[in-house]
Amino acid sequence: MYLKVVFKSPENCIFCRQFLLAKTIKEELKQEVEQLKAAGKKVPHLAAVLVGDDGASQTYVASKVRSCERIGYESTLIRRDAKITEEELLQIVKDLNSDDAIDGFIVQLPLPKHIHVNRVIEAIDPAKDVDGFHPVNVGRMVMGLPAFISATPFGIMQLLERNHISTSGKHCVVLGRSNIVGRPMSVLMSRNAEPGNCTVTLCHSRTSNLKEETLRADILIVALGRPEMVTADMVKEGAIVIDVGITRVPDKSAEKGYVLKGDVKFDEVAPKCSYITPVPGGVGAMTVTGLLMNTLQAAKARYA
Ligand code: GUN
């Protein structure tokens, strides 16, 4: 029965619907860019700073830059060796802050260990912080004020909203307390709005009785980076499961030498769910759209 639902049409296909939604949002953004151009205005310009040669980070940043180009934004990629000093990186941030051509920028994480991540994030002009990592944006988000919301949580909220997934009154369990996903996700799901209005439990590496908690979830959002740790026995029948984890697991039989795994054991969990996002092809596509939406907002705010 499950397979029939999955493959009946692209809209129902578990592996297609996030792509279709991301495509729709990108089309909308592309049209907005056309309108800006027609009105003689500047198109949004996103810059990305990539430090070192981490394979996954390179892939993510390449995808962000490619998406910008496809929808008509300008993009700039600044690459630096992993040996860059903190001062040098802070100078790049300072230059981007004062560069009138740049509407928004991101510094891809993780950074090499010798660099204090928070010093870099705090140096970013909040008005150009399209990652929504700066304390000003985090604070405004917590207060329910207009803010840049970090791309993955923003993408997940879009996923819920545009799929008309009702959240009000539900119990949402978030696994993971990172600043990038888990923590902002827990705030957004508990805000007085739709989507939102959930009772939220935030679980992490020190949570005892994890299974007891996950079994209470109407909506389970998993962002731990632990491949396939959520198994069928941990999920309630009919739950909505959003898998944010994406880990390269070595596999000699794979062409690239690795396979991508989510935090959820998809094959056994999917049949229990009313909605689930696969890995790859799920939340990842929505993360990029979240960033593109923030960049358009940043550009509009600068030229309002
Ligand atoms: N590393 C993993 N996710 C992200 C993200 O959304 N933004 C940045 N800058 N780095 C990341």
pLDDT, residue 7, reads: 43
Q: Is residue 59 part of a domain?
A: yes
The set of protein residues with a Cβ atom below 6 angstroms from ligand 1 is 106-109, 131, 151-152, 180
Q: Is the pLDDT of residue 14 over 80?
A: no
Question: Which residue CA neighbors atom 8 of ligand 1 most closely?
Answer: 108
Q: Is residue 31 part of a domain?
A: no
Distance CA 43, CA 35 (A): 10
- The answer to whether the Cα torsion of 196, 200, 206, 212 is positive or negative is negative
Do residues 206 and 242 both lie within one domain? yes
Q: How far is the CA of 250 from the centre of ligand 1 (A)?
A: 22
Average pLDDT over residues 175-182: 97
Average pLDDT over residues 10-33: 85
The set of residues, in sequence order, having a beta carbon less than 8 Å from that of 150 and lying 6+ positions away, is 131, 132, 133, 179, 180, 181, 184, 290
CA-nearest of 166, 123, 100, 135 to 298 is: 100
Question: Which band of pLDDT confidence, cut at 50, 70 and 90, is reported for residue 249?
Answer: very high
Domain end position, chosen among 125, 159, 175: 125
Do residues 115 and 187 both lie within one domain? no
Ligand 1 probe mutation, 109, 124, 286, 289, most atoms within 8 A of CB: 109
Q: Which amino acid, one-letter code, is at 152?
A: T
Do residues 154 and 264 both lie within one domain? yes
Residue 237 near residue 214, CB atoms below 8 Å? no
Do residues 155 and 277 both lie within one domain? yes
Average pLDDT over residues 200-204: 98
pLDDT, residue 18, reads: 83
Do residues 121 and 185 both lie within one domain? no
Do residues 274 and 160 both lie within one domain? yes
Strands 219-222 and 171-175, bridge-based pairing:
parallel
- The size of the chain, in residues, is 304
Choose the catalytic residue: 26, 64, 128, 170: 64
pLDDT, residue 102, reads: 98
Q: Is residue 257 part of a domain?
A: yes
- The CATH code of the domain that includes 252 is 3.40.50.720
Do residues 188 and 257 both lie within one domain? yes
Question: In the chain, what percentage of residues exceed pLDDT 90?
Answer: 91
Question: In the chain, what percentage of residues exceed pLDDT 70?
Answer: 95
Q: Is residue 219 part of a domain?
A: yes
Do residues 117 and 204 both lie within one domain? no
Residue 280 near residue 260, CB atoms below 8 Å? yes
Cα 132 to Cα 97, 150, 151, 160, 266, distances in angstroms: 15, 4, 7, 20, 30
Do residues 88 and 165 both lie within one domain? no
Residue with tokens 């309630």, as numbered in its chain: 236
Do residues 121 and 155 both lie within one domain? no
User: How many domains, in total, are found in the chain?
Assistant: 2
Average pLDDT over residues 205-229: 97
131 or 10: whose pLDDT is higher?
A: 131
Question: Which band of pLDDT confidence, cut at 50, 70 and 90, is reported for residue 11?
Answer: low
Domain interval for residue 77: 40-125
SS3 for the chain, per residue? CHHHHHHCCCCCCCCCHHHHHHHHHHHHHHHHHHHHHHCCCCCCEEEEEEECCCHHHHHHHHHHHHHHHHHCCEEEEEEECCCCCHHHHHHHHHHHHHCCCCCEEEECCCCCCCCCHHHHHHHCCHHHECCCCCHHHHHHHHHCCCCCCCHHHHHHHHHHHHCCCCCCCCEEEEECCCCCCHHHHHHHHHCCCCCCCCEEEEECCCCCCHHHHHCCCCEEEECCCCCCCECHHHCCCCCEEEECCCEEEECCCCCCCEEEECCECHHHHHHHCCEECCCCCCHHHHHHHHHHHHHHHHHHHHCC
Does the active-site annotation cover 256? no
Give the position, in ligand 1's atom list, of the atom nearest the Cα of 108. 9
Question: Which band of pLDDT confidence, cut at 50, 70 and 90, is reported for residue 8?
Answer: very low
Q: Is the pLDDT of residue 10 over 70?
A: no
Q: Rounded mean pLDDT of the chain? A: 94
Q: Is residue 302 part of a domain?
A: no
Q: Is the pLDDT of residue 89 over 90?
A: yes
Does the active-site annotation cover 211? no
Q: Can you give the pTM of this predicted structure?
A: 0.93
Do residues 159 and 241 both lie within one domain? yes
- The CATH code of the domain that includes 115 is 3.40.50.10860
Q: Is residue 8 part of a domain?
A: no
pLDDT, residue 304, reads: 74
Check residue 171 and give left, alpha or beta (phi > 0: left; psi -120 to 50: alpha).
beta
Q: Which range has the worst mean pLDDT, 9-23, 124-138, 170-184, 229-243? A: 9-23
Does the active-site annotation cover 108? yes
pLDDT, residue 235, reads: 98
Do residues 120 and 160 both lie within one domain? no
Q: Is residue 212 part of a domain?
A: yes
Choose the catalytic residue: 103, 131, 243, 263: 131
Q: Is residue 303 part of a domain?
A: no
